[in-house]
Chains A and B, each alone.
Chain A
Amino acid sequence: MSVIEIKNLTKNFGNTKALNGLSFSVEQGSVYGFIGPNGAGKTTTIRVLLGILRKSSGEVTVLGGDPYHDAVELHRRLVYVPGDVALWPNLTGAEVIDLLGRLHGGIDMAKRKMLLERFQFDPTKKCRTYSKGNRQKVALIAAFSCEAELLLLDEPTSGLDPLMEQVFQSCVAEAKEAGKTVLLSSHILSQVETLCDQIGIIKQGVIVDSGALADMRHLTRIKMVVQTINPAPDLHKIPGVHNAALQDGEWHFAVDTGAMDTVMQFLVPFGMKALTAEPPTLEELFMQHYSADTQKEGKR
């Protein structure tokens, strides 16, 4: 069952098209990584999902309801962490956490206490004194101490230190174990790679690639470095091999996943001395979409 279902969503701000026919869905119990460069439309999408922005056209369903018309009912079942948390300067962190929790319909005090400790957060200070990372902690603690089926996290860890990033990741992992659904917008790709089952790459208001990371990897090339006992000539002539170069007796090349067998058959007769094969990282997938686009722009 899809917890979030988006079809052909568009959102215009005056003449600017922020979302341009965006489609994706998030299955129940999964962690969906929503990645893309700044200004691609991640935050706009999440705000449409919250019912704070009205869509221009398209279909959007959240937890079976319409995010704009059923906002109040839906918000009982979801929590949200913005990427740039703005807090009331004269309230303390604790007051904000408690207010948000109570508005949600109740706060789990034991969980709140545990989260305060895990995030090493002093909630007695006035919000105007908190740093960026600490404001982010307020929103994270408020969100994780509420009971919710769906977590909408919009670059939730910007400003957090690496230790706190770890705490955040374990909180998301626990939420997933408890069967909750998470939409995680991020441009920290290692975070997405660790946490997410499904990934959507958004570019200029459309999803340009999506699926499980493993599936997406199949569509791309594997980087290989091979050293053979006898010199292997003409490797670069095999179909499916790209960017092959011979350096210090080692072949460096990228190979299409479909051509792997041919390459191995070709190499074996020369005798294998050393071989490394690296699947593409998410970063490379990301850069592939990104640079394809910059090339296009370069041609204009």
Chain B
Amino acid sequence: MKRHSFTGTLSLTRLYIRRGRWLLPLWILLPVLISATVVSSAAVYQDVGLFVEELTANPLISSILGPGMSHDVAGVVVWRSTGQIVLILGIAMMLTIIRHTRSEEEAGRNELLRAYVTGPHASLTAALLIACISSLLAGLLVTVYFISLGQAVSSSFVFGLMIALASCVHAGVGGLAAQLNKGADKARGVALAFAGAEIFFLIINNSQGSYSGWAWLSPMAWHRVAQPFYGDKALSLVFMVIILAIPVVAAYVLSARRDLGEGIFPEKSGRAQAAAGFRSPLALAWRLQKGSAIGVLVGIVLIGGAVGGMAQSVSETAGIGDLLGGIGGMNWMAEVGNRNAFIGVFIYILTMAIAAYSIMSVLRLQKEEYEYHAEMILAKPVSRTQWMFSNLLVSMLCVTGIMLALGISSGLMFGLGSSDFGQSFQSIWLMCVTKIPVVWVMAGIAALLYGVLPRMATILSLCIWGVFTVVEFLWEIQIVSWAVMQFTPYAYAHYTVPVANLPIMPLIVLVILAFALQALGVLGFKKRSIGQV
């Protein structure tokens, strides 16, 4: 690599900072915000040590998060939030890199920049720079926050740097993913597959106790390796830097071996004539969504299977602390049973992720419209209703299929280890089936927003999704009551209610609501102009 390969890196860095001026600060602040939320929720309890002990004694909690670490506020944050922080920040960094490198190449904008005085590695370097600097800032803010809480300076640095390094690894993986194929969508697929893999390895690690070699494979579990506020294994940070170097070096090597705009894997030729069934907006919608739907399905099936398989190791008889078992005044865990509660919570979390996927899937409509693909179809004898409905139908079928597959994989793995396969399988399977209307409602909200307020649809749908998620979190830590929780669709297939006792009527209402929202969305879409106006 010659020096001139990097010419223009600083100018591009400034450009990318300009383009990310709204999102980057959010990512930088996110870890400290999550930490502060957990700290304030823990502060409700006078004796934090007791709080942690009670939580870790809970078989449900310790199976999900692994055993507790240090018994103070800092320990609670590390134990409870590291995975969450690393996952969100990591995905954000991977997508940031892909956005500035592969997407730019695909759109042809990098070609324009390269025609000016810009080296071949400038774009990748600038993208990695802002991702790594953002990660470092995010980590340092966490460090400063913990020092301000009176925690040990060295431990605070270990934790902050660990967060930063875990996030940087994702940046490297994003850079690597961007080299492989010509399309940015494929790069994003690789990035999400990586995220799925680290969740998978995290679950495996936690199932084997606090620390197994698996933790190295999942940056989400690196607090088990570095042990901030617990053992402070500062040396492990050096190994993390070495791990970080692997995807980064690989990205540069591959970047040097390929042409601008091309991928390492050449684009294959395809059909000289379309398949016989490829003749409707429905067929097109399926074709466009197939790849991501199958990817999500595989990821969810693997995670669901792992959770189902692990659940048998959760003690059914261990005593449950009043603290969690008594959430919302219900003695829910006794009713549901520890193992079912364990799977129930996981399915609940996965449902939230699938709800986010369903929103993004519906909003492909917007992408198709803004990229002028919709225009090509609507210039044919295809009604607006037919076009929008075809896309919605595919989205609904995909998320339904994913929920059912989740039920089958987790139910199967759970049932196989139990004495009564039929009963075990059915209870898990039903947990997933009853959440289908919930996901449909989330898709319905996105469809309505797309039809009526297309420009705001993405941001508003994701905000609504975020609010529902935060409400659940606030309810868990008992800041808001069930009365508030009832405004979210999640409340009607909640993990605290044994699935056999769920009232059916609210679920039917949710289904009707989902269809009504989508119908309104189609009505709105029929009445407006098409295109970015």
* A residues neighboring B (CB under 8 Å): 13, 47, 50-54, 71-73, 75-76, 79-80, 82, 84-92, 94-95, 97-100, 102-105, 123-126, 128-129, 139
Note all chain B residues with C-beta closer than 8 A to A92: 269-272
Mark B267-300 against chain A: 1 for CB-CB distance below 8 A, else 0. 1111111100011110110011001000000000
Among A47, A53, A100, A129, the residue within 8 A (CB) of B182 is A129
Is A13's CB under 8 angstroms from B533's CB? yes
Tell which of A75, A79, A99 touches B274, judged by Cβ atoms closer than 8 Å.
A99
Selecting from B197-205, B375-383, B468-476, the interface stretch reads B375-383
Nearest-neighbor residue (CB-CB) of B281 within chain A: A103
Q: A52-B529, A54-B529 are in contact. Are A94 and B271 (CB under 8 A)?
A: yes
- 17 A-B pairs within 8 Å (CB atoms) are namely A47-B375, A50-B375, A52-B529, A54-B529, A71-B383, A75-B380, A75-B381, A88-B287, A88-B288, A89-B185, A90-B183, A92-B269, A95-B271, A95-B278, A98-B273, A103-B381, A139-B376
Which residues of B are found within 8 Å of A123, using beta-carbon distances?
272
* Interchain nearest-CB distance for A58 vs B (Å): 15
Report yes or no: A84 in contact with B274, Cβ–Cβ below 8 A: no
The residues of B that contact A105 with a CB separation of less than 8 Å are 381
CB distance from A134 to the nearest CB of B (A): 14
B382 engages A98 (CB within 8 Å): no
Shortest C-beta distance, A108 to chain B (Å), equals 14
* Set of chain A residues within 8 Å of B376, measured between Cβ atoms: 82, 85-87, 100, 139
Q: How far is the CA of A276 from the CA of B476 in the complex (A)?
A: 92
Cβ of B106 within 8 Å of any chain A Cβ, yes or no, is yes
Known contacts: A71-B378, A75-B381, A103-B380. The answer to whether A126 contacts B267 by CB under 8 A is: yes
Cβ–Cβ contact A53 & B533, under 8 A: yes
A128 & B371 in contact (Cβ 8 Å cutoff): no
A86 touches B272 (CB 8 A): no
A73 is contacted by which of B373, B381, B533 (Cβ under 8 Å)? B381
Q: Given the complex of chains A and B, what is the CA–CA distance between A104 and B371 in angstroms?
A: 21
CA distance A28 to B423 in the complex (A): 72
Within 8 A of A (CB), among B384-442: 384
List, in ascending order, chain B residues with CB within 8 A of A88's CB: 284, 287-288, 373
Known: A82-B376, A89-B106, A98-B278. A72 touches B381 (CB 8 A): yes
B372 an interface residue at 8 Å Cβ cutoff? yes
In the complex, chain A residues whose CB is within 8 Å of the CB of B257: none
A141–B21 Cα gap in the complex (Å)?
43
Q: Closest residue of chain A to B383, judged by CB?
A: A72
* Smallest CB separation, A85 vs chain B (Å): 8
> Is there an interface contact between B381 and A98, defined as CB atoms closer than 8 Å?
no
Contacts of A94 in B (CB 8 A): 270-274
List, in ascending order, chain A residues with CB within 8 A of B270's CB. Answer: 91-92, 94-95, 124-126
B interface with A by C-beta (< 8 Å): 106, 182-183, 185, 267-274, 278-281, 283-284, 287-288, 291, 371-373, 375-384, 527-531, 533
Q: How far is the CA of A128 from the CA of B377 in the complex (A)?
A: 18
Chain A hits for B529, CB < 8 A = 52-54
Chain B contacts for A76, CB-based, 8 A: 381
Nearest opposing residue in chain A for B529, CB measure: A53
Q: Which residue of A lies closest to B385 (CB)?
A: A72
Contact at B380–A128, with CB atoms within 8 Å? no
Residues of A within 8 A of B281 (CB): 103
Contact B271 A100 (CB under 8 A): no
Known A-B contacts: A94-B274, A125-B270. Give 8 more (CB < 8 A).
A52-B530, A71-B378, A72-B382, A95-B271, A99-B278, A104-B380, A126-B182, A126-B269
Chain B residues lying within 8 Å of A87, measured Cβ to Cβ, are: 373, 376
With A and B bound together, what is the CA distance between A95 and B275 in angstroms? 8
Residues of B within 8 A of A102 (CB): 274, 278-280
A76 to B288, CA, bound (A): 25
Pick the residue among B269, B279, B378, B379 that contacts A124 (CB under 8 A). B269
Question: For A71, what are the chain B residues with a Cβ–Cβ distance below 8 Å?
Answer: 378, 383-384
Tell me, in angstroms, the Cα distance from A123 to B274 when the chains sit together: 10
- Inter-chain CA distance A209–B273, complex, in Å, is 45
B383 CB contacts on chain A under 8 angstroms: 71-72
A71 to B527, CA, bound (A): 13
Q: A54-B529, A123-B272 are in contact. Are A128 and B183 (CB under 8 A)?
A: yes
Which chain A positions have C-beta within 8 A of B381? Answer: 72-73, 75-76, 103-105
CA distance A255 to B533 in the complex (A): 47
Given contacts A105-B381, A123-B272, contact A86 B267 (CB under 8 A): no
Take A82-B372, A125-B269 as given contacts and tell me if A95 and B274 are in contact as well, using a CB distance cutoff of 8 Å. yes
A75 to B379, CA, bound (A): 6
Q: A84-B372, A98-B274 are in contact. Are A91 and B380 (CB under 8 A)?
A: no
Complex formed: what's the CA distance from A245 to B405 in Å?
86
- With A86-B372, A99-B274 given, is the CB distance from A50 to B284 under 8 Å? no
Q: Do B279 and A99 have beta carbons less than 8 Å apart?
A: yes
**Which residues on B sit within 8 Å (CB–CB) of A73?**
381
CB distance from B352 to the nearest CB of A (A): 29
In the bound complex, what is the Cα–Cα distance between A95 and B378 (angstroms)?
Answer: 17
User: How many Å lie between the Cα of A86 and that of B369 in the bound state?
Assistant: 11
Whether A89 touches B183, Cβ cut-off 8 Å, given contacts A52-B531, A72-B382, A104-B381, is yes
Closest residue of chain B to A81 (Cβ to Cβ) is B379
Q: In angstroms, how far is the closest chain B Cβ from the Cβ of A96?
A: 8
**CA A70 – CA B7 in complex, angstroms?**
56
Which residues of B have CB within 8 Å of A47? Answer: 375, 531
User: Once the chains bind, are A99 and B284 in contact (CB under 8 Å)?
Assistant: yes
In the complex, the answer to whether A124 meets B272 with C-beta atoms within 8 Å is: yes
> Nearest chain-B residue to A124 (Cβ)?
B269
Given A54-B529, A128-B182, A103–B267 Cβ distance below 8 Å?
Answer: no
Give the CA-CA distance A251 to B284 in the complex, in Å: 66
Give the residue of A53, A79, A90 whose beta carbon is less than 8 angstroms from that of B531.
Answer: A53
Contacts of B382 in A (CB 8 A): 72, 75, 103
Task: Provide the bound-state CA to CA distance between A168 and B272, in Å.
Answer: 22
In the complex, A71→B386 CA distance in Å? 12
Complex alpha-carbon distance, A123 and B272, angstroms: 6
Q: In the complex, which residues of chain B have a beta carbon less than 8 angstroms from the beta carbon of A52?
A: 375, 378-379, 529-531
Q: A84 — nearest CB in chain B belongs to which residue? A: B372
Query: Does A91 lie within 8 Å of B372, measured CB to CB?
Result: no
Q: How far is the CA of A252 from the CA of B185 in the complex (A)?
A: 63
CA distance A84 to B281 in the complex (A): 21
Is B272 a contact of A53 with CB atoms below 8 Å?
A: no
Nearest chain B CB to A14's CB is how many angstroms away? 8
Residues of B within 8 A of A86 (CB): 371-373, 375-376
Give Cα A102–Cα B284 distance, bound, in whole angstroms: 12
Residues in A whose Cβ lies below 8 Å from that of B267: 125-126, 128-129
* A45 CB to nearest B CB, Å: 14
The distance in angstroms between the C-alpha atoms of A50 and B382, with both chains bound, is 12
Bound complex: CA A6 to CA B402 (Å): 50
Interface centre among A51, A73, A90, A129 (most CB of B within 10 A): A90
- Bound-state Cα–Cα, A76 to B183, Å: 33
| Interfacial chain A residues near B527, Cβ < 8 Å | 54
Query: In whole angstroms, how far apart are the Cα atoms of A79 and B379 in the complex?
Result: 7
* Chain A neighbourhood of B380, CB < 8 A: 75, 100, 103-104
Q: Contacts A89-B183, A90-B183, A103-B280 known; A80 to B379 CB distance under 8 Å? A: yes
Q: How far is the CB of B185 from chain A (nearest CB, A)?
A: 8
CA distance A82 to B379 in the complex (A): 10
